[in-house]
Structure formats: structure tokens, C-alpha cells
Amino acid sequence: MQKILNLFVHLDTYARDTYLAMAQSASNPALARVFEQMAAEEATHLEWWAELVNAWGQGLIPDLVTESADLDVRLAALLEELVGSTPSDVSALSDDEMLQTATRLEYYMLDPVFTEVIDLAGPSSAAQHREAYQRHVDRLVGAVEELYSPDPLASFLARILREAWRQNQELSSFATRDPLTALHNRRGLMAHFSQWASWAERYDRPISVLLIDVDDFKNVNDTCGHTAGDTVLVAVANVLRGALRGSDMVARYGGDEFAIVAPETAGDQIEPITSRILERVAALTIGCDQVPSVTVSIGCAWTSGPNASRATDALLSAADRSLYDAKHKGKNRVGDVIAL
């Protein structure tokens, strides 16, 4: 893992230095400003990697879900190929050639593992980092479309870069996303849960887990059909996604069950989340007269500080007991919150 992070440092260092050199040599002042901004953003990316290298050294982040034995070899070859395909003296390039070089730089760095590494940031940072990199790519696409000499190649380069970014997002999600709901799957949840529990332990912060089960889901499938069942799962997933804060993670845990990991959340802070979920799910309609409404039951558990990283299984078990309590008391409610 550390080799992979170090390779990203080398890649972004090379990109930053190349953008700085092109900023100093571009004849178009607008293009020079774009390259200056791109260089500044690459410097920010280097800060991301430095934070992750430090977190890795403290044992706060897990291995990549998709990591394989030869991944570092593949990334090293990518770096070598990138350097070999970039002119050694970019100052001698025309503005159009500089834009071609910039497009090639970003294209090479859009490996699917890049997005997964971004997601290893702290609970409140991953989404911000994704959005920042989206702006980084959009900035270059805009420059190609606006500043490249009139030529069909300009639209081709812009389209290639957009498509590479889209495929990056899709491929990085295959191992960790549920195809029906587009939420994280159980595998993706556990990778991030372990990481965030380590953060909670290191910085003595609370972390909560919620398990949400669709009440009487078998009856929906049996009465209204499996298409209606899928509609319910997608609708509930959308409710959960919309009811959470940016730092929370929701996943399809299995079947008709969902899980939420809520960092920086103690037991007395869970109620606003569960109230929003119950209210919004109860307002759903699925277009089946025999089952006019949908409800969920919720189990909750939380812990804080010391031993949080070793309590992930215990938290899930406790949340499951709380969920059983909610079902036993009549469903469409929250079970007793369990503190560990």
C-alpha cells in the first residue's frame, strides 16, 4: 500500500512540475493561467497523498479493496510510460501541443484505483476530494474546448478525457457498489468502516452504526412481484442517501437490509437521523394497491475512542440486537440504542 501511495506522489509531482513549466511558456495568457491553476491543484493532490501516507504509517487506513500483488508494478510502468511520452522540454511546445500534453497527463492518471485511494481519506474528506478532482478534469476539458486552435482534434481530446473520467468512476465502483441501488455493498462498507473506526480510536471520537430492515419485504415480493420489490429497495436507498450527512456512509448490507456508518456521532445524536429515515420512508408509495405503504425498522449501536477499531464486529452485532428489539416491539420504529 505504501508503494502505491508513493507512486501517486511521484505521478502528481511530475504533473505539477510539467504544468508549472507550461504555465511559464504558454503564449496565451489565459492558457498560462489554466496551467497555473492545474499546478496548484496538483500541489493540493500531493497534500492528500501526504495525509494518507501519514495515516497509513499510523495504521489508520486499510489496504485497497482491489489491491493486487502487481498493482504497484503496473503503476510504476504507467509512470515510466507517462514520462517517456512527454517531451523533456515542454517550453518548446506550441500552445496546442501543451494542451495535448496536459490531456495525456490526466488521461494516464485516471486509473480506477485512483478513485479508490481518494475514498480512503478521512470521513469528511473523501467526497470533497472527488468533487475537487472533478473540477480539475473539467478545467482542462474547458481549456481544450475554448483555447485549442479550431480543429476537430479539440473536441476529440475533450471527449476522450470526459470518457476516461466516467470509466474511472464506473470501474472503481464495480468491486464495492451494489448494482441495483448504486450504494456501497457489504464489501465496500466493511473496508471504510474499519478505516473510520481506526480514525475514531486514534482521535478519541464517537462512531455509530445503524442497521435498517424493510418491514415485511417478503410480502411485497409475494404480493406485488419482484419488480415492485426492487422498486422498494431503490426507493429506500434513495431515502437513506438523502437523509444522511455528507460524512456518513450508507450501504446495502444484504437482501432488504441496509447499514449506515455515522462517524462523529454518539448515542444521543442518532435520533435526528432515525427520525428523518422513518418519516421519509413512511411517505413512500410503490404503486401496488395491496401494499400501499412501506416501513422500516432500525437498530443502533455506538462506541467511542479506545478499542473502536477492534469493535466493528461487536458494533454490527449490537446494532442487529437493537434491530431485533425494534421488530419485536412492532416494527416501524427504532430499537434501544446500545452503547459499547
State the pLDDT at residue 233. 94
**C-alpha grid cell for residue 254?**
444484504
* Domain 186-339, CATH: 3.30.70.270
Q: How far apart are CA 185 and CA 81, in angstroms?
A: 34
User: What CATH class has 2-173?
Assistant: mainly alpha
Instruction: Provide Rg for the chain, Cα atoms.
Output: 24
Chain-centroid distance of CA 243 in Å reads 17
What are the phi and psi torsion angles at 241 (to 5°)? -60, -40
What are the phi and psi torsion angles at 127 (to 5°)? -65, -40
**C-alpha grid cell for residue 20?**
508549472
State the pLDDT at residue 119. 65
3-state helix, strand, coil in the chain (%, to 5): 65, 10, 25
Splitting the chain (340 residues) into consecutive groups of 10 residues, what average pLDDT does each group show?
81 93 95 95 90 72 55 76 85 91 82 66 67 86 85 73 70 72 85 78 86 92 89 93 84 93 90 94 83 90 82 91 94 94
State the pLDDT at residue 270. 93
Neighbours of 255 (CB within 10 A): 11
Closest to 190 in 3D by CA, of 305, 306, 65? 65
State the pLDDT at residue 93. 93
**C-alpha grid cell for residue 277?**
429515515
State the pLDDT at residue 65. 47
State the pLDDT at residue 337. 94
Q: Which residue has the cell 473506526?
A: 197
State the pLDDT at residue 188. 79
What lies within 8 Å, CB to CB, of 129 at 6+ separation is 48, 118, 121
In the chain, count H helices and then E strands. Answer: 12, 5
Check residue 260 and report its DSSP letter: E
- Sketch the domain layout of the chain as residue ranges: 2-173, 186-339
Neighbours of 27 (CB within 10 A): 9
The alpha carbon torsion through 189, 192, 195, 200 (nearest 10 deg) reads: -80
Q: How far apart are CA 122 and CA 192, in angstroms?
A: 10
State the pLDDT at residue 171. 55
Check residue 334 and report its DSSP letter: B
What lies within 8 Å, CB to CB, of 161 at 6+ separation is 103, 106, 107, 137, 140, 141, 144
